[in-house]
Amino acid sequence: MDKNSIIRISIALGIFVVIQLVGGTLAKVLLYPITILVTALHELGHALGAILTGGSVNSLRINEDGSGQCASQGGVASIILMGGYIGSAIFGNLLFYLGVKRHWLDSIILTIFAVLLSIAAIFWYDNLLSSILLIAIAVGLIYIRNTVYKHEILIFIGIASIWHIIKDFNVGPSSDLEMYAKTIGIFSSTVWKYVWLLIVISLTALNFKWILQKKTLKSNQPPK
């Protein structure tokens, strides 16, 4: 990782830490878009888990308080349930990686996320507020894609998202964990909670390992 990347990560991390130290209403307001984004990625993880295992999505809802719900039918329940928490962690780490590495795929990935969120708002419609929030996030991602500070913003979003996911492991996926424990068995929801957390931390550690490597895929330029 070059010196410029270290500086950009340090600045983004510094801003995030200051916001956390300020706390209170101001911190909640400043990080509200991140909260909604993480929820959207969580529910999108459920939706993709359903589709990829042969199921379908009936509706996807994002609430203004940062909670959400994805109603699906069919598919593999264990994958769908894990898809929320683990999926959002994968998405958050992906955004952080793209920001640090300045990878040529960043604009494509942001566009795909924006399209998926727009699909959720229209075809998996639940209520007007939810669709407005989803469209707002999609528009925000397109804006980020086109700004000169794209990579710096992605680094900040990645850091905030990963922290949010890890910090809320004890609360965020509680309903998913209870259903997962009933579906899979073997362990209680409490044990599965720490298994999921370990998976997320491992994914994050692996992501940092890739970031710290001096070489990536030959170059960060699209193939000719």
DSSP 82-146: HHHHHHHHHHHHHHHHHHHHT-TTHHHHHHHHHHHHHHHHHHT---HHHHHHHHHHHHHHHHHHH
Look at residue 219 in the predicted model and tell me its pLDDT. Answer: 45
Query: Can you tell me the distance from the alpha carbon of 137 to that of 190, in angstroms, rounded to the nearest whole number?
Result: 32
pLDDT above 80 for 224: no
Quick check: 122 pLDDT over 90? yes
Domain-located, residue 224: no
Kindly state the average pLDDT of the residues 169-185.
75
pLDDT category of residue 215 using cuts at 50, 70 and 90 = low
Within a domain: 135: yes
What is the count of structural domains for the chain?
Answer: 1
Q: pLDDT band at 216, cuts 50/70/90?
A: very low
- What percentage of the chain exceeds 90 in pLDDT? 35
Q: Is residue 60 assigned to a domain?
A: yes
What is the full DSSP assignment across 151-219? Answer: HHHHHHHHHHHHHHHHHGGGTTTHHHHHHHHHHH-SS-HHHHHHHHHHHHHHHHHHHHHHHHSS--SS-
Rounded-to-integer distance, Cα 113 and Cα 28, Å: 24
β-strand partners of 68: 62
Range of the domain at 120: 3-22+30-212
The answer as to whether 219 is a domain residue is no
Question: What is the predicted pLDDT for the residue at 173?
Answer: 63
Residue 221 has pLDDT above 60, yes or no: no
On the question of pLDDT at 222 being above 70, the answer is no
pLDDT band at 172 (very low <50, low <70, confident <90, very high): low
**Cα separation, 224 vs 208, whole angstroms:** 28
Residue 223 lies in a domain: no
Q: Is pLDDT at 132 greater than 90 in this prediction?
A: yes
Q: Is the pLDDT of residue 63 over 50?
A: yes
> What element of type H or E holds 62?
strand 56-62
Q: Which position has the token pair 């699209």?
A: 222
- Of 172 and 87, the one with more pLDDT: 87
pLDDT digits (tens, 9 = 90+) for 4-33: 788 888 988 898 889 888 888 888 888 899
Half-sphere exposure of 58 (CA within 13 A, CB side): 7
Query: What average pLDDT does range 96-101 have in this prediction?
Result: 89
For residue 160, name the pLDDT band (cuts at 50, 70, 90).
Answer: confident
What is the rounded average pLDDT for all residues in the chain?
Answer: 86
Task: Please compute the mean of the pLDDT values over residues 73-85 and round it to a whole number.
Answer: 90
Residue 40 lies in a domain: yes
